[in-house]
A and B are shown apart, each in its own frame.
Chain A
Amino acid sequence: MEQLLTANVASSMYWLGRYLERVELTLREIGKTYDCIIDVDKSAGTALYKKFNIDLEYTNAVDFLDKAIQGNHAGNLANLMVQARENAIISRTNIDASAFGEIIELHDFLQSLSKNYHPIDFNDIDNALSLISEIWGTHGKKGHRKYSDYFLKLGRLVEELDFQLRFNQKSDVLKTIIKDINAMIKVLNPEMRLVVDDEENMMETIYKTIDKLIVN
């Protein structure tokens, strides 16, 4: 029997997946870029954030970490985690209790970074990434997969696709992700299918499909 799920919870699970995935992928890119800024390319951070349509200015590698994570821009990770936390609270009955606790912990951790006087260092990124791994691990541990989990996974995949479009655009990778997205959609509504004819408007097409998938 299909799982009972309100549109609000379905949507919150989807957005929780997107925000957490965005935080994770951004942290990983920040980590790589930090290394590059040290002694390879000082402007690597500016180039990275251009892909997010953000103009980022910094003086050195450590300052890059600080500006990237808690700068006054749309990619501020502490703010993204506020959104993730909100979605987790709304859908908490469908989230593994430990995973929920780790989401709150990650939120509090990123909030605390902005209140600390010492500069953000690479260890903070490692800690945040460890917490995200724990969230995915504990939530994925459940034996029986529920429909709500598919919305979470769908959110992760859509975010991953968005990243791929910004960074690589390798068509085989894109095709694999779209195939996975379609598999999720099929489970959630067997009568629906994502058809992407035009690569340029791919995200637009996906959003329209998800709007049809979750009936408000």
Chain B
Amino acid sequence: MLEKSTELHEKFWEIFAKQDRQKIDQFKTYMDKFAVNFNLYKDGNFIEQSLPFDVIPRIISTQEFRKIEKGLQQRVTALNLFLEDLYTDAKIVKDGIIPFEFVERAGGYLKEFVGFSPSKKIRAHINGIDLVKDSKNDEWVILEDNLRVPSGASYPLSIRDTYRKIYPDFFENLKIEPIKEYPKIITDAMNYVNTGGINVLLTPGRFNSAYYEHSYLAEKIGAELVRAHELVVIDKKVYFKNYNGKKILVGAIYRRLDDDFIDPKFFNPESLIGVPGLVEAYLSGNVALMNAIGNGVADDKGIYYFVPKMIEYYLGEEPILQNAPTYLPYFEKDMDYVMNNMEKLVIKDVAEAGGYGVLFGHSMTKLQIEDLKATIKANPRRFIAQELIEFYDEKCYLNNELVNRKADFRAYVIMGEDVKVWNCGLTRYALEEGNYLVNSSQGGGFKDTWVMEL
């Protein structure tokens, strides 16, 4: 189902009708030429491929975006307060708002970090919040919070430049908000928490799926792109190893690898992509890590249920943006509901990400549902259930025809001295009609997102 067309959409279509559609191929040419890639491993082979791109942008009015912005600022502020509280005083647990069992069992909770407070008490520096627009009530709904290593911002950033070159008419004639300030927002946030030294972006390396993004962002934010062995920890301080052997102090690290791999001395000893001793330097307050270690607890699918309560608890405010109606089988009442309504629910395995471990009740057989019920009963904390949100489709121009595809929206929220929401984002669309999974790892593509006013 498509969202009702507005005057902004009409203006877009008016200009689109006059454009040379042959030029659409130039987007793919550009992405190939500049290796704007999202890499995959398939059957043990490394495959470099460009992310499918659709030329029809998602259009959000400035007025609507400002409301989303406020909601996101509120949400990320609360999430950051939650993390800081949880790892220090844990008042939210003591006050009975969140059962400790939920925290303890969340995969990303790291009890070894209790008592540590990072630079400026900021933990959720760069956040990707996934939203959809519900067709039932025209409201934006939060589907997921990504507070560890959210990716994707480089794709709309780089495609916008290309869009302006290929189809300048849109930008000459419409009031589309410019988006170039994203790297500056990141740099400002890094500088704010920097403990003294240079900024670096830590990548797992050339064969990571998002390596293009790592190198692109490093250049744009003016940070050195480094792999683990290009950093060294001496006396609990992190140094960048220059080509000539000189060592330069590092003050902030935008890390693009998960907690488990970041330091083989502290986490997974098998990790070849981590920096030995980094955690010790971090815990000594000698370097800032973006994002903080242990954030996984806040984007755990089970903890997601409690985010509206966090907003009320920490900020004394009503949530501006709502969660999708969610049930935790851990609670008896919710378990009964899930068991009796599984056919219409979406069941998510809290340990999975990237669209994996998501089961749609309506597309399962009776036998599959019975199996799943037994699994949930045996391990209720492992699953959440959500009402299926009938979110809007977006129009896509695929294979020379206009078609409808489900699309979500990842907003980027950066916390530095202030909380800033980038006035763009990653709109991802599903590969096939009717498919609700839009993740890039599921074959989905992306669109530009235009925040526009009349």
Contacts and interface: CB of A to CB of B under 8 A. Distances in A.
A186 B353 CA distance: 51
B243 A5 contact: yes
Interface string A84-101: 001001101100010011
Contacts of A10: 243
B227 A8 contact: yes
Nearest to B225: A93
A104 B34 contact: yes
Interface string B180-197: 000000000000000000
Interface centre among A5, A6, A92, A100 (most CB of B within 10 A): A6
Given A89-B35, A101-B34, A215-B244, A4 B224 contact: yes
A10 B226 CA distance: 12
A189 B244 contact: yes
Contacts of A6: 224-227, 230, 240-243
Contacts of A147: 243
B33 interface: yes
A90 B214 CA distance: 11
Interface in B212-250: 215, 218-219, 224-227, 230, 240-246, 248
B215 A93 contact: yes
A7 interface: yes
A7 B32 contact: no
B206 interface: yes
Interface of A: 2, 4-11, 86, 89-90, 92-93, 97, 100-101, 104-105, 108, 147, 188-189, 213-215
B145 to A, nearest CB: 30
A92, A104, A108, A189: residue with the most chain B Cβ atoms closer than 10 Å: A92
B34 A90 contact: no
Interface string B100-140: 00000000000000000000000000000000000000000
B8 interface: no
A185 to B, nearest CB: 11
Contact of B32 (A90, A93, A108): A108
A5 B242 contact: yes
Contact of B242 (A4, A86, A104): A4
B245 A97 contact: no
B206 A104 contact: no
Interface residues of B, number: 23
Contact of B243 (A7, A90, A101, A108): A7
A97 B220 CA distance: 12
27 contacts: A2-B242, A2-B244, A4-B198, A4-B240, A6-B227, A6-B240, A6-B241, A6-B243, A8-B230, A9-B225, A10-B243, A89-B211, A90-B206, A92-B35, A92-B219, A93-B215, A93-B218, A93-B219, A97-B34, A100-B34, A100-B35, A101-B34, A104-B33, A104-B34, A105-B33, A188-B244, A214-B243
Shortest Cβ-Cβ A-B pairs, 6 listed: A215-B245, A10-B243, A93-B219, A6-B230, A101-B33, A7-B243
Contacts of A11: 243
A213 B243 CA distance: 8
A141 to B, nearest CB: 17
Contacts of B198: 4
A97 B283 CA distance: 38
Question: Which of A4, A5, A100 has the largest count of B CB atoms less than 10 A from its CB?
Answer: A4
B244 A104 contact: no
Nearest to A101: B33
A10 B245 CA distance: 12
B160 to A, nearest CB: 15
A4 to B, nearest CB: 5
Nearest to B206: A90
A38 B244 CA distance: 50
A105 B245 CA distance: 35
Contacts of B32: 104, 108
A7 B241 contact: yes
Contacts of B241: 6-7, 215
Interface centre among B32, B35, B215, B230 (most CB of A within 10 A): B35
A215 B225 contact: no
A186 to B, nearest CB: 13
A165 B306 CA distance: 72
